[in-house]
């Protein structure tokens, strides 16, 4: 999906500010949002909802405001909360500055979540075939525009890189079309892109970017077809 969320490689936003000794959470409510996300999983996760936030709101929201917005919208769509009920609750809290939540404490659930946090969980899956590419292979990122969530950076589409290594087979995180549920696993590669390949003369000297990419994002540079840059698509 193309949207304001895919800011990698975009111009005009200035330097990324670096906060010295940045805390994990700037406000207590941010930690609560993180905990809410941990305890209320949604089938599609947060990303699809974050990616459809209107551009003006996306640029205005802080990191955890995006999380909160996405979680609320996802829970409403799942039928777990009601938009009108939520609005009434917001009005009630705004009218009473001393209002506090009345959390339901479930010790067994708390223990289970804490154990999960401290348990190593490898995302690797069993190989389902032979990888198409090997370290040292030249590959081109397919020039496609997925309609849903994708982990393919927009600025890499149509560009050529070199496979550095294979990370193994991992479940692909792209969003399936409505009504389709798959658990596809594909090889994931570390691919090196030269800065000049991605940004031309504006790239800094000796700059390179390493990006982890699923196999279906890649093709051989000799490939021709509707998704190939050699078929007339642009490198912009």
For 20-51, letters b (16+ CB in 10 Å) and e give eeeeeeeeeebeebeeebeeeebeeebbbbbb
Domain with residue 33: its CATH number is: 1.10.472.20
104 and 134 co-located in one domain: no
The pLDDT confidence band at residue 165, using thresholds 50, 70 and 90, is very high
137 and 74 co-located in one domain: no
58 and 140 co-located in one domain: no
Q: Is residue 112 part of a domain?
A: yes
Per the structure, the complete domain to which residue 226 belongs is given by 124-231
Tell me the pLDDT tens digit for each residue of 211-234: 999 999 999 998 865 555 544 333
> Residue 16: its pLDDT value, please?
79
Average pLDDT over residues 156-179: 85
Tell me the pLDDT tens digit for each residue of 34-90: 988 888 777 667 887 888 899 899 889 999 999 999 999 988 988 888 999 999 988
130 and 211 co-located in one domain: yes
> Residue 227: its pLDDT value, please?
55
What gap in Å lies between CA 38 and CA 120, rounded to an integer?
A: 16
Q: In this predicted model, which residue has the larger pLDDT, 8 or 226?
A: 8
Where is mean pLDDT largest: 9-13, 44-48, 112-116, 208-212? 208-212
Quote the percentage of the chain above a pLDDT of 70. 88
When divided into structural domains, the chain yields a total of 2
Q: Is residue 149 part of a domain?
A: yes
* Residues whose CB falls within 8 Å of the CB of residue 120, separated by 6 or more in sequence, listed in order: none
Where is mean pLDDT largest: 6-10, 11-15, 117-121, 196-200? 196-200
Q: Is 45 left (phi over 0), alpha (psi -120 to 50) or beta?
A: left
35 and 94 co-located in one domain: yes
Q: Is residue 14 part of a domain?
A: no
> Residue 223: its pLDDT value, please?
80
> Residue 236: its pLDDT value, please?
38
99 and 150 co-located in one domain: no
77 and 150 co-located in one domain: no
- For residue 19, pLDDT beyond 80: yes
Q: Is residue 211 part of a domain?
A: yes
């Amino acid at each position: 999906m193309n949207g304001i969320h895919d800011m990698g490689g975009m111009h005009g936003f200035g330097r990324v500010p670096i906060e010295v000794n940045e805390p994990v959470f700037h406000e207590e409510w941010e930690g609560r949002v993180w905990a809410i996300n941990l305890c209320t999983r949604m089938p599609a996760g947060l990303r699809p909802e974050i990616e459809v936030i209107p551009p003006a709101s996306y640029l205005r929201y802080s990191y955890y405001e995006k999380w909160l917005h996405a979680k609320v919208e996802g829970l409403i769509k799942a039928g777990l909360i009601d938009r009108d009920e939520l609005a009434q609750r917001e009005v009630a809290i705004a009218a009473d500055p001393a209002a506090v939540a009345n959390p339901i404490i479930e010790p067994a659930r708390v223990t289970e979540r804490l154990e999960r946090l401290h348990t190593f969980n490898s995302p690797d899956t069993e190989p389902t075939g032979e990888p198409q590419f090997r370290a040292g292979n030249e590959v081109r990122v397919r020039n496609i525009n997925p309609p849903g969530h994708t982990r393919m950076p927009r600025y890499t589409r149509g560009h050529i890189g070199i496979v550095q290594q294979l990370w193994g087979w991992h479940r692909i995180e792209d969003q399936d079309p409505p009504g389709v549920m798959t658990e596809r696993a594909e090889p994931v590669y570390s691919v090196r892109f030269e800065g000049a390949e991605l940004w031309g003369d504006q790239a800094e000297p000796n700059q390179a970017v390493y990006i982890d990419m699923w196999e279906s994002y890649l093709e051989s540079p000799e490939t021709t077809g509707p998704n190939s840059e050699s078929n007339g698509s642009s490198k912009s």
